[in-house]
Amino acid sequence: MHTWAGGALILFFIFCAGGLVLTALTRGRYPLRVLATFSTVCSVLVIIATSVALTTGRSFEATLWYLNGFGPFSIHLDMLSAIFLFTAAVIYLPASLFVRSFLETRLGGRYPLRLYGTLHFALMASIVLILIANDALLFLISWECMSILCYLLVNYERGQQTDSRAGLIMLAMSEAGFLAVVLAFSIVGRGAADWSFPALALAGAHLSHAGVWGVFLLSFFGFGVKAGLVPVNFWLPRCYTATPPIFTPVLAGITLNLGFYGILRLDTDIVSPLGIGPGLIALLVGSITAIVGILYATTDNDMKKMLAHSSIENAGIIVAGIGASLVFHGSGHDIAAAIALTAALYHMINHSFYKTLLFQGAGDIEAATGTRQMDQLGGLAHSLPALSALFLIGCLSISAIPPFNGFVSEWLTLQSLLRSATLLSPAVKILFALCGALLALTAALAVTCFVKAYAMSFLGIRRGNWQFRGEKKASWPQFPLAYLAIGCFLLGILPTYVIPVLNSAVEPMVGASATSSLVPSFFTATATNQQLPSAFLQDFHNIGAQVGGKVLPGKGLVILVRGAERNPVIFASSPSYSFIALGIFLLLTWFIVRQSTRKRRVVRNELWAGGIPRLLPEMTYTATGFSNPVRVVFQAIFRPNIIEDTRDTVAVHFRTAILRRREEMHLVDRLFFHPVGDAISWFARLLAGMHHGRLNAYVAYTLGFLVLILFLYRLS
């Protein structure tokens, strides 16, 4: 037990309970002050607890009480829990700073503020309990509380029937996933002394092959619902669109991660998969999820729905990394497994940062303009310059553009997939190559998607007839967005300090260290402890690998994907040095341009727009036009229903107007849920046809059923 971490967690629950009670008891504007203050303190306390655990490597464990038949209710903060909990607290902090201004300006008393504060603190406590639970019963109770509270917060703004329907769909899918997870724990718990995680891990080591597969499939489906994996992700875009802007970042940056945590906790820590089969399924499902998510994100013009589809894409990348790790670990390549799992955790943290930034930015845009449709936006960089700069950082980060954080994790994920060359099976190598190609295409489409998102929203001229609500600009502070943007930047240029922290959780799960392979000791290399050949080390020193070694802590600023002795480095990258070089290059370019144009006179003339007096908004490029090439190329996937309304003149050879309307049907709905629904309807009609009122037929049904039961009993 570590006293600092444990004390901070105890204080967290005290402040959380205090905030919940005070928010429920106070009136007027006081619930907002209590909510913002206590929520901020709670976030800081969790950051302190997890930082202590991650820096010292010491865990916290405590038993709450004992329940007969199930064992102890206990909590345990290990390295895996600490990483997810630290991410959740870091994301909750800007949401806490952001909540007061939102509730004052957006809701303004239409809804009970005390109710939101109560739900806010209850959800925060349930998320923390999920991540530190050390027994299945506490985990499941906290998970169910989290699902119900998310439903209530999604439906907090009860303005439209479609919003309520989206919340109900989310709750129904969450309950289906919850039942699958309960069954998975039940399979493991049959042979366990109690339902504590250590006892379940002992029982999981003796599960049969069929039992391991059952646990994996049930848990992968159950947790995959929360993570937004194909084909159980149809609820996510609907839900994110209906969610209040203040809660959307929590939904996308925190609760989405709980699905990944559940998969890792149950399928790697408690029950280790046998062979490479589960990993291949996770890799394939993750890759398909990523490409499907980014395709719909690229072609959607609703900003929140676009970001929701992008969350599906990023969830696919994370699960693909987890799947690759399971495959490598199952085939005996533990170092490659450690690299893949490190990349997955890194991408999970990165996604939480830039997606929270983008969702809060989208909420700011909606508050200022009254619309989320990118076809109607444009020119916001003039009226919202600070938001424009911060939103641009989020777009660059999610597009994996260096020096921001998305580049490092996506680069590591792709490099880990390339390590499949060490595997023996040609079929597995082909599958890795196909999944790598899908993820590479996903990365390219992500750039297209967020070029559209930024350019169509902030650049050019206004295309819609909305009016800018200037009074809203001052009431939505930019500090939370700046805080997240700085996080995106630091995670992008300091990966050699992030990887060792992630390795503290990865190494116990796969039995190998990613740090020793990815972050060589350039700063501390001597003649006696060199991990790489001297000639190779000297070559890297010649290009500056030791720059900063005398003033910076750590091993170095270079990431290497290590190979064999003859080829010690497969790939190398240094976002830190690249950022320094890029900064010097841009500064030099600016100086040269400024010096060369200093004595020239700037002449401003009218813009020539093809001979017309001025460029009209309807003449400019729209988001629909920008993404139309993607829509055309992938027409076989989208397959929309085109309804054409043609109006003819008196002569049938001429038409006055052609109106085409697209009715979109999501790929998952078309391939999975509509066929399942049609099959259920057919079976229901078949059963309905049996109710015809003939007594002899009913007696025959009963007799046939009894014969079937006797036959099955005889076989058993």
- The answer as to whether 438 is a domain residue is no
Closest CA to 80 of 348, 445, 425: 348
Asked if the model's pLDDT at residue 473 lies above 70, the reply is no
Q: How many CB atoms lie within 10 A of CB 461?
A: 13
Confidence (pLDDT) at 648: 53
Asked if the model's pLDDT at residue 665 lies above 50, the reply is yes
Confidence (pLDDT) at 158: 61
The CA-CA-CA angle for residues 355, 356, 360, to 5°, reads: 115
Confidence (pLDDT) at 471: 45
Listed in sequence order, the residues at least 6 apart from 652 whose beta carbon sits closer than 8 Å to its beta carbon are none
Euclidean distance between CA atoms 667 and 634, whole angstroms? 12
Lowest mean pLDDT among 186-200, 372-386, 483-497, 614-628: 614-628
- The answer as to whether 39 is a domain residue is yes
Euclidean distance between CA atoms 593 and 598, whole angstroms? 8
Residues 637 and 693 occupy one common structural domain: no
The CA-CA-CA angle for residues 360, 364, 369, to 5°, reads: 150
What stretch of H or E contains 603?
Answer: none
pLDDT band, very low/low/confident/very high, at 472 (cuts 50, 70, 90): very low
Euclidean distance between CA atoms 238 and 3, whole angstroms? 44
Confidence (pLDDT) at 525: 67
Taken in order 700, 702, 704, 706, is the CA torsion positive or negative?
Answer: negative
pLDDT in tens, 109-126: 556 677 888 888 999 999
- The answer as to whether 378 is a domain residue is no
Confidence (pLDDT) at 696: 75
Q: What are phi and psi of 666, to 5 degrees?
A: -60, 145
Mean predicted confidence (pLDDT) in 421-447: 91
Euclidean distance between CA atoms 81 and 689, whole angstroms? 54
Confidence (pLDDT) at 287: 95
Confidence (pLDDT) at 397: 94
pLDDT in tens, 288-323: 999 999 999 998 888 999 999 999 999 999 999 999
pLDDT band, very low/low/confident/very high, at 343 (cuts 50, 70, 90): very high
- The answer as to whether 540 is a domain residue is yes
The CA-CA-CA angle for residues 477, 481, 486, to 5°, reads: 135
Q: Which two tokens stand for residue 122?
A: 């209850």
CA atoms within 13 A on the CB side of 467: 3
Closest CA to 279 of 624, 510, 592, 545: 510
The residues facing 612 across adjacent strands are 609
Mean predicted confidence (pLDDT) in 442-464: 90
Asked if the model's pLDDT at residue 659 lies above 70, the reply is no
Residues 204 and 135 occupy one common structural domain: yes
pLDDT in tens, 485-525: 999 999 999 999 999 999 999 998 888 888 888 888 877 76
Tell me which of 95 and 187 has the higher pLDDT: 187
Which amino acid, one-letter code, is at 314? N
Residues 572 and 676 occupy one common structural domain: no
Euclidean distance between CA atoms 145 and 649, whole angstroms? 63
Taking each helix axis from N to C terminus, what angle separates 479-493 and 79-102, rounded to the nearest 10 degrees?
150
Residues 707 and 654 occupy one common structural domain: no
Q: How many domains does the chain have?
A: 4
- The answer as to whether 476 is a domain residue is no
- The answer as to whether 289 is a domain residue is no
Euclidean distance between CA atoms 247 and 239, whole angstroms? 11
Listed in sequence order, the residues at least 6 apart from 607 whose beta carbon sits closer than 8 Å to its beta carbon are 614, 615
Tell me which of 73 and 111 has the higher pLDDT: 73
What does the mean pLDDT of the chain come to?
Answer: 83
Q: How many CB atoms lie within 10 A of CB 300?
A: 24
Mean predicted confidence (pLDDT) in 66-85: 84
**Which DSSP symbol is given to 64?**
E
Asked if the model's pLDDT at residue 1 lies above 50, the reply is no
Euclidean distance between CA atoms 583 and 507, whole angstroms? 35
Closest CA to 52 of 79, 13, 92, 89: 79
Percent of residues, the chain, with pLDDT higher than 70: 87
Residues 42 and 61 occupy one common structural domain: yes
Asked if the model's pLDDT at residue 621 lies above 50, the reply is yes
Residues 643 and 687 occupy one common structural domain: no
What stretch of H or E contains 531?
Answer: none
Confidence (pLDDT) at 599: 74
**Ramachandran sector of residue 523 (left: φ over 0; alpha: ψ -120 to 50; beta: rest):** alpha
Confidence (pLDDT) at 657: 55
Domain holding 12, by residue range, is 1-224+234-258
Asked if the model's pLDDT at residue 80 lies above 90, the reply is yes
Residues 649 and 708 occupy one common structural domain: no
Query: Dihedral angle at the C-alpha atoms of 496, 500, 501, 503, nearest 10 degrees?
Result: 130
Euclidean distance between CA atoms 504 and 403, whole angstroms? 25
Tell me which of 9 and 542 has the higher pLDDT: 9
Mean predicted confidence (pLDDT) in 543-568: 76
Residues 24 and 92 occupy one common structural domain: yes
Mean predicted confidence (pLDDT) in 381-392: 90
Residues 658 and 673 occupy one common structural domain: no
Q: What are phi and psi of 11, to 5 degrees?
A: -65, -35
**Which DSSP symbol is given to 133?**
B
Q: What are phi and psi of 641, to 5 degrees?
A: -90, 120
Query: Does residue 31 have a cis bond before it (omega within 30 degrees)?
Result: no
Closest CA to 135 of 207, 61, 191: 61
Q: Which two tokens stand for residue 357?
A: 């930034």
Euclidean distance between CA atoms 395 and 307, whole angstroms? 11
User: Residue 134: helix, strand or coil by DSSP?
Assistant: coil
The CA-CA-CA angle for residues 686, 691, 696, to 5°, reads: 120
Euclidean distance between CA atoms 456 and 377, whole angstroms? 7
Number of H helices, E strands in the chain: 29, 6
Confidence (pLDDT) at 290: 94
Cα Rg of the chain, angstroms: 28
Euclidean distance between CA atoms 178 and 221, whole angstroms? 9
What stretch of H or E contains 175?
Answer: helix 161-189
Confidence (pLDDT) at 107: 52
Residues 150 and 85 occupy one common structural domain: yes
Asked if the model's pLDDT at residue 468 lies above 70, the reply is yes
Closest CA to 621 of 507, 461, 479, 512: 461
Euclidean distance between CA atoms 271 and 412, whole angstroms? 26
Residues 544 and 649 occupy one common structural domain: no
Mean predicted confidence (pLDDT) in 388-413: 92
Query: Dihedral angle at the C-alpha atoms of 531, 535, 540, 542, nearest 10 degrees?
Result: 140
CA diameter of the chain: 105
Confidence (pLDDT) at 681: 80
223, 233 contact by CB (below 8 A): no
Q: Dump strand ranges (E) for 202-287.
A: none
Confidence (pLDDT) at 476: 46
- Cα 502 to Cα 7, 346, 496, 556: the distances in Å are 23, 7, 10, 16
Q: What is the chain's length? A: 716
* pTM (two decimals): 0.89
**For the purposes of burial, counting CB atoms within 10 Å of the CB of 616, is it exposed (0-12), middle (13-18) or buried (19 or more)?**
exposed
Confidence (pLDDT) at 70: 67
Euclidean distance between CA atoms 488 and 482, whole angstroms? 10
- The answer as to whether 239 is a domain residue is yes
- The answer as to whether 685 is a domain residue is yes
Residues 629 and 702 occupy one common structural domain: no
Euclidean distance between CA atoms 286 and 303, whole angstroms? 24
Tell me which of 407 and 612 has the higher pLDDT: 407
* DSSP secondary structure string for all residues of 440-490: HHHHHHHHHHHHHHHHHHHSS---S-----HHHHTTS-SHHHHHHHHHHHH
Confidence (pLDDT) at 399: 93
